[in-house]
Amino acid sequence: MAAVILLGPPGVGKGTQGVLLADALGWERIVTGDLLRAARRAGTELGEKARAYMDAGELVPDELVVALVEERLAKTSGETGVIFDGFPRNVAQAGELEAALDRHDRRVDRVLLLEAPDNVLEKRLTGRRSCPECGAVYNVYFNPPEREDVCDRCGRDGLVQREDDRPETVRHRLQVYRGETEPLVRYYEEAEAEVIRIDGDRAVDEIQEDVQVAAVGEPIS
Ligand code: AMP
């Protein structure tokens, strides 16, 4: 079954688009950031090892992330497509992914590259706040709650910012993206994978349409 990669800088909307795409197609998502955060919450050894890298906006060592992906991939149904979000993040991980997919009779069919200017990405990330109670997500610039710092949905007073969404860390994450992850565009182009560029600096539903067409080659009704 199909495997697509959502590639793009932090803050470009891979998470949002990945959920919409998975819902529309009934595909599964493999999101390494989420897997790592879950490992941290569960207090596993791997989660503990990953913590300092994540909070500093550095990449977690490949072997830890690859182990998580392999474990997750083994649980996928062979019947549905898979969307990778946040993985691979460098050329070594791309090689590991190819080998892992091969073992599951899959391959990378398409790479969807979401793009937006750095100033937009910085605002999206540094402005992001979430409710620790119900999980609702806001942005102080683009989608603020009605009352500052109070959740519209559940009334909780005190929204939180992800440690790695602080301004210095955000700038570092963007540098890491440009240095380590962006070279994957060339890598996949040279591997003759289909790389489809999508403007991520637009309304969610406009991007969604392009993402869906790019993923399956036609609009989904
Ligand atoms: P994300 O939610 O995708 O922005 O990921 C949050 C953090 O998790 C990143 O800044 C990295 O520290 C770590 N991370 C997520 N995916 C990977 C990956 N494929 N390789 C290394 N580190 C990762």
Tell me the whole-structure pTM to 2 decimals.
0.93
- The bridge status of strand 108-115 relative to strand 3-7 is parallel
Question: Does the C-beta of 15 come closer than 6 Å to ligand 1?
Answer: no
Instruction: Tell me the C-alpha to C-alpha distance, in Å, between residue 115 and each of 84, 100, 120, 197.
Output: 16, 27, 10, 7
Choose the residue to mutate in 59, 161, 163 for probing ligand 1, maximizing ligand atoms within 8 Å of C-beta. Answer: 59
Q: Is 128 a catalytic residue?
A: yes
Identify the three-state secondary structure at position 80: coil
List 89, 106, 124, 129, catalytic entry = 89
Structure confidence at residue 221 (pLDDT): 61
219 CA → ligand 1 middle, Å: 30
Task: Please tell me the predicted confidence (pLDDT) of residue 220.
Answer: 65
CB distance 31 to ligand 1 below 6 Å? no
Q: Is the pLDDT of residue 192 over 90?
A: no
Sign of the CA dihedral with 88 first, then 93, 97, and 98 last = positive
Is omega for the bond preceding 144 within 30 degrees of 0, making it cis? Answer: no
Q: Look at residue 175 in the predicted model and tell me its pLDDT.
A: 97
